[in-house]
Structure 1
């Protein structure tokens, strides 16, 4: 009985620790609009992957919120991302492209990495594989599901307003 209780508690703890999610097959994104995620707007800086990570988000305009990201390691840009959260009919989608430090693209010319909206809460925005969480006015957490060689790991980017 103690073993079953331990396993049950262990599984509940694992479930609570997960911050990123995926839509179920056939499940559609809920309604959402850019004003519901406008709290992401700002210039944010933190540490990740052994370096300095930085994101700059614009306020909503033209049915989108654009952003740029860069990771600095040993004083040099490791890579960039450029993207947006955009209004897509009655829902939102986040899309991005990656670039090496020399601006050569990772994805093919017409390919984007897309993250469909899963759920919106007052201070949280859940997209497939990425979650934004407002800690307070000057701090946000971004949880990203990173996949590499068939393995996946949830990575926390803790940002402070810069």
Structure 2
């Protein structure tokens, strides 16, 4: 009987050990907690070269530009911001053709509300940033297809 009790005790102790996913501490929704996103990032996606340039936090926002070059021609641009609004963060962006004609209407933005921040991840609803190292990050973007399905695209960026 004592041996059986010990097995249960050891098994219970093993399964109650915290794992990384359970103990990863959520951080406050402050720009300073995501400042690692800032920098000049380059990678490949959509069959071409992508570049994203994020500013350091200043004021109540961070800003970025995005460019896709395919077959030596710019396909499109984005202007992005992450800003502090009502004790949280929101990522907003606008798309532009290669001639800077906008995809969205004048007052329209594509908005991604914040879900959570940890030491190496920023998760917005529809877009996430994952710090791999000081010089590498992954960005995951949910693309909504015409047939109603959603596909997640991974951008691997290096400084």
For the criterion TM > 0.5, the same-fold answer is yes
What is the TM-score when the length of structure 2 is the normalising length? 0.81
Higher CA-based Rg: 2
Alignment of 1:1-162 (within 5 A): 31-149=28-146, 150-161=148-159
CA distance in structure 2 between the aligned counterparts of 1:147 and 1:76, rounded to whole angstroms: 25
**Alignment root-mean-square deviation, CA:** 1.0
Helix, strand or coil at the partner of 1:119: strand
The runs of 5 or more residues in structure 2 that have no matched partner are 1-26
Q: Which runs of 4+ in 1 moved over 3 A?
A: none
The runs of 5 or more residues in structure 1 that have no matched partner are 1-29
Cα 1:89/1:31, change in 2 over 3 Å: farther
What is the TM-score when the length of structure 1 is the normalising length? 0.80
CA distance in structure 2 between the aligned counterparts of 1:44 and 1:83, rounded to whole angstroms: 14
Higher relative contact order, structure no. (Cα contacts within 8 Å, ≥ 6 residues apart): 1
Instruction: Give deviations 1:49-99, integer Å, cap 9, x for gaps.
Output: 000010000000110000000000000110000010001121100000000
Q: CA deviation at 1:151?
A: 2.2
